[in-house]
Amino acid sequence: MPSLHELLAEHAPLLLLDAASARVQTGFLEADGRARWTAAEEEAGVALFRGVASLGAAPAAARAFVFCEGPGSILGIRTAAMALRAWNVLAARPVFAFRSLEIVAHDLARPGATGDFSVIADARRETWHCVDVRGGAVGPLRRAPAPELSGALVLPENFRTWSALPPGTRRVGYDLAALLPRVADVDLFRLTGAPDAFLHEDPSYKTWTPHIHGASARP
Give per-residue pLDDT as tens, 17-56.
999 999 999 999 999 989 999 999 999 999 999 999 999 9
- pLDDT of the residue at 41: 95
Q: Which domain holds residue 65?
A: 4-99+173-191
pTM to 2 decimal places: 0.89
Query: Mean pLDDT in the chain?
Result: 92
Any alpha helices (H) in the chain, and if so which ranges? Answer: 4-11, 44-54, 74-90, 100-108, 176-182
Is residue 27 a part of any domain in this protein?
yes
The pLDDT score that the predictor gives to residue 125 is: 87
What is the reported pLDDT for 205? 45
Are residues 167 and 180 both part of a single domain? Answer: no
Residue 204 has pLDDT above 90, yes or no: no
16 and 61, same domain (yes or no): yes
Residues 51 and 147 in one domain: no
What was the pLDDT predicted at 30? 96
Same domain flag for 59 and 119: no
pLDDT tens sequence across 101-121:
999 999 999 877 668 999 999
Q: Residue 115: what pLDDT? A: 84
Instruction: Name residue 97's beta-bridge partners.
Output: 67, 190
CATH of the domain at 65: 3.30.420.40
Q: Is 109 buried (19+), middle (13-18) or exposed (0-12) by CB count in 10 A? A: buried
Q: How many domains does the chain have?
A: 2
CA distance to 67, 88, 119, 134, per residue, from 80 (Å): 7, 12, 23, 32
